[in-house]
Amino acid sequence: MESVIFSVQDNGTGITEDVRNKVFDPFFTTKEVGKGSGQGLAISRSIIEEKHGGTIDFTTEPGKGTTFTVHLPLSGF
């Protein structure tokens, strides 16, 4: 199956081990109260996976940054 793959990378602090399994959970945020809803990655994952049959995943290295990779199938477009 043909697909489009794209990645977004930063050079930030990375995602710590203790939160890696939570990043796609609804309402999860590492921001201070009032600064984020914790919905961004949860909604993104829902749209990518449930509505388009794709995947979103990430790799991260503490102190070096994180890369999110999205795979979207081309079938149906």
Give residue 46's pLDDT: 96
Domains along the sequence of the chain with CATH = 3-73 (3.30.565.10)
Give residue 44's pLDDT: 96
Give residue 28's pLDDT: 86
Backbone angles phi, psi at 6, to 5 degrees: -140, 155
Q: Which residue in the block uniquely carries the two structure tokens 């050079």? A: 11
Per-residue pLDDT of the chain (77 residues; tens, 9 = 90+): 799 999 999 999 999 999 999 999 999 888 888 787 888 999 999 999 999 999 999 999 999 999 999 999 998 55
Give residue 77's pLDDT: 53
Give residue 76's pLDDT: 59
